[in-house]
Amino acid sequence: MAPMKNVIVNGIILAEDGKKMSKSLNNYPDPKIIFDKYGADAMRFYLMNSPVVEAQDFRFAEAGVEEVVKKVLLPLWNTYYFFTTYANIDNFVPKGLPSKLDNNLDVWLISELNTLSKEVGEGLEAYKLADAARPILAFMDNLTNWYIRRSRKRFWKSENDGDKMQAYETLYYTLVETTKIIAPFMPFMSEYMYKNLTGRESVHLDMFPVADEKLIDSGLSEDTAKVQNIITLGLAWRANNKVRVRQPLQSITITTQLPEYFREILREELNVKEVLVVDGSSIASQICKPNGRAIGPKFGKDVKFIMSEAKSGNFKELPN
């Protein structure tokens, strides 16, 4: 019989200057102060999302713990606070997630939630803690800066229509399932939120969510990601050219075919009157410029031929 099935090896946590932590050098922050200032959950997630759990050395920086608070804990708490505030105003009582969701935002969020559950679960099962932690960062950003921001008007409606109720059910379900997913990483915050949302004894007594593949809409997720990227680039262009978002523009030109639903989002987010779609080859060309020094050890005397072919345009992009 094998003496063990899995072996977990951590790297060494170094001071921010790269030296070993030492009392005599006093080159590390007091852990008690870190816990009091940022909370144990922030410290825990910071370490679990670092190279140290992959048996690599890691330079500890207080700024990294603070970043976890800003990018993970605060966004989640703000979403929880947003939900509880309006749910209490409207006396919302959860009845369960509808079998069919009518709003693309809700469909997308449930898809992202199940993708999160799948990726985190696979990472934990494989004892790859950093791989399990990374998707949580992206999900928190999507939850706060996309779903909540674009759904606010649905919650602000004076009438409790079907769309508003579906938004409540979707967000409630997402928050409860999210607390279960993050419980291994942020045990205290997840426990507080779970108990307040459900009235049950403990999130740590519940089962880890199993992803429902049927609810993962990869096409919708990919299109949403494309739109988010276009919006980021469009806003960056406005900022670089000092053109305020409140100033409407005639059009934006993109190279991706998108359904009308997403074009309307682009018009709204970027304040443009029209979304034009063109063939990408008409406004940009693709080049390949190999790094001779990097590929030299592997391809040797063939490097000159590779460089020549790339310069002539004899290359193609392969799928990941």
pLDDT of residue 23: 84
224-246 pLDDT, tens digit per residue, is: 999 999 999 999 999 999 999 99
Instruction: Please tell me the pTM assigned to this model.
Output: 0.84
CB-CB contact of 270 with 236 (8 Å): no
The ranges of the chain with pLDDT < 50 are: none
Q: What is the pLDDT of residue 200?
A: 96
Q: Which pLDDT belongs to residue 282? A: 63
Structural domain 13-215, CATH architecture: Orthogonal Bundle (1.10)
Query: What pLDDT sits at residue 280?
Result: 65
Supply the pLDDT for residue 33. 93
Q: What is the pLDDT of residue 238?
A: 94
In this prediction, residue 319 carries a pLDDT of 60
- pLDDT value, residue 292: 85
Question: What is the predicted pLDDT for the residue at 312?
Answer: 85
Q: What is the pLDDT of residues 178-202, one digit of tens each?
A: 999 999 999 999 999 999 999 999 9
Domain spans of the chain, in order of start: 13-215, 218-282
